[in-house]
Each structure stands twice: as structure tokens, then as C-alpha cells.
Amino acid sequence: MLTSLGIDIIEVDRIREGMRRWPQLAARLFTERERAYCEQKADPALHYAARFAAKEATAKAVGRWLRWHEVEVLSDAHNRPLLQLVGESAQVARIAEGARLLVSLSHCRDYAAAVVACVMPTSPRGEESAPGVWV
């Protein structure tokens, strides 16, 4: 059952300029794997911006601020984006209770956007559970 959505959009130049002015910004906001992925691209700022938007959208979907390095945007075997949460962020998002976070990223020359959906499991009988109630 879909329980919440988060969306974020950011100007790519805002990320590009921030990283130019503060070289340590990438290490502060992104994990080592995220940085490795972005840095191999022709325009890393596009990919950093999309991941920044995904982290913001994740916080909006779960209803609480999350630590930057506890929310990681990776790619699956088919190069589709996926979210990996660890630590307190995973607890807040209720990952251990079966919650799933789905993410979609998009970017163009000027903007990057992300949408995150929080999906809770259904009961063993196939009925949808109310948010926070597990059957």
C-alpha cells in the first residue's frame, strides 16, 4: 500500500557551483559509491543533482530529516536507481518492518528531479494494512 510520496527538484547549476566553491561538498553529501558513479559521467553535476534530489525526496517521503550518508542512491543490475538506507534512516523509514522505498530520477541540462514512494506491505491475507498497523 502506498503510504507517502516525496518529490524534489533542484537546479543543476546550484550543485555545480556549490561543488566548485566547496570542493569538500561532494564528500559531505554523497557516499563513496555515489561519488564514484557520478565522477565517471561526462557531466557529474547532473548525476550529483539527481542524487541530491533523491535524498531530499526520501526525507519528504518518510517525514523526517535523514543523514546524508545513510541514504544512498545506487543502481540495480538493469541500471535503474534504487535507494539503500542504513542506520537510523533505515529505522525511521521502517525498512526492517517491510517498508520499501521506490525512487525515480530525471534530469536535463538545467534541472534534476526525484520522486520517492514509500510502500508498506499488505497483510498475509492480501488486505491492505493501515499505516503503522501490521496484521
The one-digit pLDDT tens for each residue of the chain (135 residues) are 888 999 999 999 999 999 999 999 999 999 999 999 999 999 999 999 999 999 999 999 999 999 999 999 999 999 999 999 999 999 988 888 888 999 999 999 999 999 999 998 875 555 544 444 332
pLDDT for 135: 28
Residue span of the structural domain in which 76 resides: 2-119
Structural domain includes residue 37:
yes
Question: What is the spatial distance between Cα 47 and Cα 83, in angstroms, rounded to a whole number?
Answer: 15
Q: Is residue 21 part of a domain?
A: yes
Residue 134 lies in a domain: no
Question: For residue 93, is it within any domain?
Answer: yes
Residue 132 lies in a domain: no
Could you tell me if residue 48 is inside a domain?
yes
Residue 130 included in any domain: no
| Overall domain count for the chain | 1
Beta-strand relationship, 81-85 and 2-11: unpaired
What is the pLDDT, as a whole number, of residue 25?
Answer: 97
The C-alpha cell that represents 110 in the structure block: 538545467
